[in-house]
Amino acid sequence: MSAVMIDGKAFAARVRGQVAVHVARLVADHGIQPGLAVVLVGSDPASEVYVKSKGRMTREVGMISVEHRLEADTSEADLLALIADLNADPTIHGILVQLPLPGHLNSELVINSIDPAKDVDGFHISNVGLLGTGQKAMVPCTPLGCLMMLRDHLGDLSGLNAVVVGRSNIVGKPMAQLLLGDSCTVTIAHSRTRDLASVCRGADILVAAVGRAQMITGDFVKPGATVIDVGINRIEVDGKTKLVGDVDFESCADVAGAITPVPGGVGPMTIACLLANTVTACCRANGLAEPA
Ligand code: NDP
């Protein structure tokens, strides 16, 4: 392996430390404690794990964590009524509805019922539009975490060729918008892209958000490129479940200049950015200076 490993776990811990400092200042100087409400409908096991660790980390940085656990058969009207209450609650600055929602609920309608100023996931159509037009938005946490790691590792991203593999609304598209905002030349690749390997080989920055285990191999990577692996895939190895990314770490690490591991790369940054977004939302709601 010749690539530098980008340690998302350590970076995320630093970000959470900065969030904690900001929270302590908000409490001491203004008597305001940021509050994050997480709404979980049903009992999807992966969502349970995420919600639990979000709650723990929210409390660890000194914020108020409120969890609303609703039955899987909760009606849309009841869920919308809860969100309306949270929108009106001045002690709640961030609202996150854990996805995926059970099939009978309209996710788009639910997400768009969140006050955009409290939409710390950045999925509300207003925030999508603001990000797309280069205005101040709440930015989706996973791509924001990727951007922070890229800036930290590379400094100025201006003029670099970036390829984002994946065009989902929650990762691929906002990632591309953020890279464009930092003046990269951006290509978005997807399942219909022709000769994906050669498109990827043009990238100084390669972001994989595909959902296919170890699909991106060393021959997709330009020597010295920075590779960010968003994927979280569970595979069976010798009868045991193993977590791997969309990037084949071994072969890519021999070619890349820097690479994020899975686990310990993008994943930890996602929750750190959620906490950072909640502090940002709290500062904006109170007309106070935002964290840098
Ligand atoms: P989606 O399934 O919504 O999107 C996957 C994208 O990959 C689609 O745009 C699809 O193209 C494209 N794709 C699929 N197959 C290929 C292929 N063979 N070649 C090129 N492109 C392909 O996934 P998400 O964006 O939600 O998530 C992507 C990955 O990131 C998943 O592994 C997910 O678990 C992980 N993830 C990790 C997070 C974290 O915190 N680390 C947070 C969110 C997601 P098309 O549009 O043409 O179908």
Task: Show the tokens assigned to 251.
Answer: 């072969």
Predicted local distance difference test score (pLDDT) of residue 9: 98
Kindly provide the ipTM of the predicted complex, given to two decimals: 0.99
Question: Are 30-116 and 141-268 equal in CATH topology?
Answer: yes
Centre of ligand 1 to C-alpha 191, Å, is: 10
The CATH code belonging to domain 141-268 is 3.40.50.720
| Residue spans per domain, the chain | 30-116, 141-268
Residue 146 C-beta-side C-alpha neighbours within 13 Å? 29
Q: Are 165 and 189 in contact (CB under 8 A)?
A: yes
Q: Under 8 Å CB-to-CB from 183, ≥6 apart: which residues?
A: 157, 158, 159
Neighbours of 267 (CB within 10 A): 23
Q: Which amino acid is at 77?
A: A
Q: Which of 232, 260, 270, 274 to mutate to test the pocket of ligand 1 (most atoms within 8 A of CB)?
A: 232
8-state DSSP, 35? E
**Cα 125 from Cα 141, distance rounded (Å):** 15
**Cα 5 from Cα 213, distance rounded (Å):** 19
**64 labelled binding-site residue:** no
Predicted local distance difference test score (pLDDT) of residue 39: 98
Predicted local distance difference test score (pLDDT) of residue 1: 80
Taking CB atoms and a 6 Å cutoff, what residues make up the pocket around ligand 1?
A: 142, 165-168, 170-172, 189-193, 196, 209-212, 230-233, 246, 266-267, 270
Structural fold of domain 30-116: Rossmann fold (3.40.50)
8-state DSSP, 190? -
In ligand 1, the atom with minimum distance to the C-alpha of 193 is 20
Residue 121 is among the residues annotated as catalytic for this protein: yes
In ligand 1, the atom with minimum distance to the C-alpha of 269 is 40
**Cα 24 from Cα 269, distance rounded (Å):** 21
Classified as helix, coil or strand, 261 is: coil
**129 labelled binding-site residue:** no
Q: 258-259 and 240-244 as β-strands: parallel, antiparallel, unpaired?
A: unpaired
**Cα 138 from Cα 291, distance rounded (Å):** 13
Centre of ligand 1 to C-alpha 208, Å, is: 8
Residue from 108, 126, 107, 101 nearest 116 by CA: 126
Q: Under 8 Å CB-to-CB from 285, ≥6 apart: which residues?
A: 93, 117
pLDDT along the chain (292 residues), means of 10: 95 98 98 98 92 96 98 98 98 97 98 98 98 96 98 98 98 98 98 98 98 98 98 95 97 98 97 98 96 84
Residue 54 is among the residues annotated as catalytic for this protein: yes
